[in-house]
Homo-oligomer: A and B are copies of this chain.
Amino acid sequence: MNCIIASTSTIHGSDYLAYLKEPLQNLYKGVSQILFIPYARPGGISHEEYTAQAQKGLAFLNVEVKGIHEFENAAQAVKNAQAIFTGGGNTFLLVSQLYNQKVIETLKEVIKQGTPYLGTSAGSNICGLTIGTTNDMPIVYPPNFKTLGIIPFNINPHYLDPDPNSKHKGETRETRIKEFHKFNAIPVVGLREGSWLRVKNNSIILEGTLNARVFEQNQEPYEVEPNTSFKDLS
């Protein structure tokens, strides 16, 4: 496997994908065409608009970006892809489309076989076992909550620490993830914006400059530093 599983596409004060420039040059080395999966449609933008945005964000790589919607057979496009990028947006929409277009199994296979894969936000959520720890609104009803299982745990992207001064009574991110663990045994890695997981063969390493917060069932959450291996978290 050869993946970057990123919390976000964009960090504050920086351009789309700009903070990932170096790791992406490494991930996509030797690649001339990237298959973009725009199904998550952030803000409801069209597949075409989103693919153009990805093309622009990846311009520094000097590659061609093709949207999966441009192909007649989506699963075949995934199978033939040199490299893949799934952008963020709404996880429920993304997963619904992956099931409806019957690409979920093929996507899993090619990633396991080594096709370079970048996921950001919703595109990272689907690398876990389920979408049970997405932050998104359930704007459509997907056929299933199960996802790729490229990594043996779930991601919570855009992880946010509780605000100690908040007067809001809605649940914090930590409270929600603890609730998830009352009904699920799957570990969860809270990835702060600017962090990503580098998956290479069987290794899974936390990259970026920030700590991540790990939630395991029946344990107190704990912080881990960059370069931590998550290979044995399951």
Contacts and interface: CB of A to CB of B under 8 A. Distances in A.
Interface in A83-136: 89-90, 92-93, 131-136
A180 B9 CA distance: 21
Chain A facing B: main interface SS = loop
A41 B93 contact: no
Oligomer: number of copies:
2
Contacts of A10: 169
A8 B90 CA distance: 25
Interface string A186-208: 00000001000000000000000
A179 B145 contact: no
Contacts of A133: 137
A178 interface: yes
A158 interface: yes
A11 interface: yes
Nearest to A92: B138
A44 interface: yes
Interface residues of A, number: 46
Contacts of A181: 44
A144 interface: yes
A121 B141 CA distance: 21
A55 B181 CA distance: 27
Contacts of A175: 43
A154 to B, nearest CB: 10
A170 B178 contact: no
A137 B41 CA distance: 20
A185 interface: no
B134 A179 contact: no
A139 B184 contact: yes
Interface in A129-178: 131-141, 144-145, 157-158, 160, 167-171, 175-178
